[in-house]
Structure 1
């Protein structure tokens, strides 16, 4: 069994290290994380930024983009303007089969009715939530490893959700593709058997074209063919990198505290063993 003197010495050393982490290192790292989140937030537009064309805070400006297919697909072509979470303008040409013939269809998006990229808005909301959580602890004195761990888990969860909004787009059902409110932005309207969908996958903006067919046997709409064009967006790539950096900063800090979990266990062990 460990000698009492050795146990006291280990507890004293662990206590000093924990005190240093609680009173100095914790808030120092949280400042670094907050700086990373602030850098990341500059890759997203606030409503104020959208109203102020000359805003120098945001790194995001209206951007004209040509979407292209990995194999030079001729099924769909698209040129658009991306501004933050909005596609404000787009010209789209795509082939559509009617009977035994393919016809060329054209449609557009105009500034008066943009396509909203909800993934970007959701990522921004989670980012703000994480930043706000840290800001509420500016002058707070944490008292235990468990308290710190719970707080860091809460912040990290918000940041992970923000990154996941961009890196793991949710697959839409056929019904969702058909009933997507964004389909109303196209002028002229696309054929009923066609669905177009813009979405984000990691740092890429993707436009998917779905040709649909009504199955008379099960009375359901089914996807016959799918084609896509895409383009890498620099500021989205930067945002994902900053999300990842913030997660790494928090995880490294959390690991330091969890390494001292034994201190609290030892302290409780000694306290229980002492005569009352």
Structure 2
């Protein structure tokens, strides 16, 4: 669905944010896009959506060049940015104007989403709080049923009950023909939904793996003493000992902790990349 080859982009000619970036993502997944502030997550999402244009390389979405912003592509993707517009339309009016652009728009799903978030469709969007705007645009985006849905920091501004509703609605909206990309710092809000991880650091993709493959290669465990753990990639002190990320030598999958995974990959990028590339011998 998304195919990026040798992409280069920078906001100035002297400083390239992305240099020869490659990425391939397929439908049927909820993909978590992780990275530190300034790593290029939002820029990458804008490039995919056609809101920014690569300086060289190729970026195709659903076999269209996103930079051309062809209507045939735009009706198949919806992007909910972190910073939302303060529009003078009511929710009803926005729905009336923009739903027809999306041929698979699900009216019943939209009504259910609005109802779940307890939004009043007669309210004007610019009068909504930040959290209410998030709820509305998430509700609309999920209902578009576009093959590609992009959510940039969707849980920012949502309270705890609303985050639970968001997870329920997102799980309902996922299909085997849809790719949903969720960029977030709030990994605990979505870690039970995501099945693929893309990690961006310093303008490059340093990890692009399914959670199943990550659990096959890495073990997430607690230890009394980190020195007792072989092939430890990362550890941090907790009240119950050390939370540890190490090579999985037991062939038993553990639950992937996204926060620990992120810190482990950042701390030991090359070692973990070698592990996933098969360059590390499991008997070492």
TM range (shorter): under 0.3
Q: Which is helix-richer, 1 or 2?
A: 1
Structure number with bigger Rg = 1
Q: TM-score, normalised by structure 2?
A: 0.21
